[in-house]
Structure 1
Amino acid sequence: MCCSECGCYDAFCDSCCPCVSYDAREAILCCAACLAVLAGAVLLAVLLAAYGFIRHAEVTVRDASLTRLALAVSPATAFAYNLSLTLTVRNKNWAMSVKNTKPLEAHYSFDGQSFERIRLAEEGFTQPPDDTQVYHLVSGDDGRYVALGNAGVAEFKAGNATGVFKVEVAVSGEVRYQAHYTKCKFEAKCPLVLQLAPPGTPAVVFQGVKCKPVTANKNC
């Protein structure tokens, strides 16, 4: 066979082992060159897998509790509420860190109208590879203005009759992935169905919600 003397793989015969006689040193150098090519190809594949493909963060609401949600409509529409969440943000990249180029925030809304905004992490915060950040958010207000309109008021009344309210949490920011220069907008939406549980009533079991990522720019 063509490569019987140096023991290289047949696939490299043409470039490494032509059908001529070699002494032992030349045979070893030939095989070393073959192995170096293979190692380089493997290293390139690993680097491409690690830094060439972006995996966007995974956002999950692990726990949520609503102990007050009341609506006043005079002189203006306003919420009185107490809402607590346990929210996680996981960097799914096993090699790349993620740096915030804008603050990461959580926005609460009811019937499409925002009524709360909470900062999760500051601009410049860097999340390590394969890391999960856990945020415990507790917020409330005795009269937060909210522009619901007639349809929103009707939605609140329907929820108030059953004690079940639909609240959406949107997590948004802007990030840059390690070894990439493009700044990427980041957003995930978490639709929650919350059972009102005033203080002194039995705790309501909450089923965790995996948030839906909003489509990122084509370069991200």
Structure 2
Amino acid sequence: MGKVGDCWDDCCYKWDEWKYCLVCIAIVVGVVLFAVLLAAYGFVRHIDVAVEEASLTRFDLATSPVTALAYNLSLRLTIRNPNWAMSLKNTKPLEAAYKFDDQRFDRVQLTDKGDKHSPGKTRVYHLATSSNGSYVSLGNAGEAKYRKENATGTFEVEVVLTGEVRYTARYTKCKIEATCPLKLQLAPPGTPAVVFLKVKCKLAEPEKNC
């Protein structure tokens, strides 16, 4: 701003140089406008994802005729857009996959393609999912892990959020992947509620152009 200040002093020292003053004002306005646009659209701040609440009331493993999990899982998932000017638009559906021992046993769609998320807003998704037998390929190691965790009543389940978005004023499509590792204590219906501590999900490293 030093040169702009000098320009202002030189041009506006005498009021009869009003035309030059207007030029200086235009320069100052241009610099300010450029700074605002750069701050608004020059840098992307990626979404924040968290699991605020989670409850597991059933988690049973069947091995015949196929390996399958019967479960009841409830989540309160939040997604925040921290950008103050840029909205984001889904170019692919936003989905949450449930995994045990790194093997997916179910998948839930949160939003469809074309859905928009406004700047600075937080969206809350209440997911209540159940199955009497979702196929899962665990293998011997996965089954052993299930038996070990079943003995303690606490299961390690991952929620993996995946999708693709485009930010305002940007052509590039950016993939989204967030992993939420949960430790869920089994609480069958009729038993006392289990206290759950909020889990902040970890975003995968963004691609070069994102």
**Aligned partners of 1:166, 1:152: CA distance in 2, in Å?**
12
Could you tell me how far apart the structure 2 residues matched to 1:216 and 1:68 are? 35
Letter in 1 for 2:45: R
Q: Offset of 1:38 from its aligned partner?
A: 1.5
Q: Is the 8 A contact 1:71 1:78 kept in 2?
A: yes
Aligned match for 2:147, one of 115, 133, 157: 157
SS of equivalent residue, structure 1 residue 159:
helix
SS for the counterpart of 2:178 is: strand
Distance (Å, rounded) in 2 between the aligned partners of 1:133 and 1:210: 15
Aligned equivalent of 1:49? 39
Q: Name the structure 2 match of 1:208.
A: 198
Q: Distance in 1 between matches of 2:57 and 2:5?
A: 74
- For residues 24-59 of structure 1, the C-alpha deviation after alignment (integer angstroms, 9 at most, x for no partner) is 543333333223212211110110110111111111
Taking the aligned partners of 1:56 and 1:207, their CA distance within structure 2 comes to: 23
* Structure 1 match to 2:30: 40
TM-score (norm 1): 0.90
Q: Secondary structure at the match of 1:216?
A: coil
Aligned to 2:16: 26
The one-letter code matched in structure 2 to 1:35 is I
Give the CA deviation at 1:159.
0.7
Amino acid at match of 1:204: V
CA radius of gyration, larger in: 1
1:174 to 2:164 alignment: yes
Provide closer, same or farther for how the CA distance between residues 197 and 188 of structure 1 changes in structure 2, counting only shifts above 3 A.
same
What is the RMSD of the two structures over their aligned residues, measured on CA atoms? 2.0
Measure the CA separation in 2 of the matches of 1:60 and 1:138. 16
Of 3, 28, 31, which residue of structure 2 is paired with 1:11? 3
Give % identity: 58
Corresponding residue of 1:92: 82
8 Å Cα contact 1:17-1:30 kept in structure 2: no
Deviation at 1:12, TM superposition (A): 4.4
In the alignment, the residues of structure 2 paired with residue 18 and residue 219 of structure 1 have an alpha-carbon distance, to the nearest angstrom, of 43
The equivalent of 1:188 in structure 2 is 178
- Asked whether the equivalents of residues 86 and 134 of structure 1 are also in contact (C-alpha less than 8 Å), the reply is yes
TM-score in terms of structure 2 length: 0.94
- Flag structure 1 segments of 5+ consecutive residues without an equivalent: 1-8
Distance 2:16 2:61 in 1: 86
Unaligned runs of 5+ in 2: none
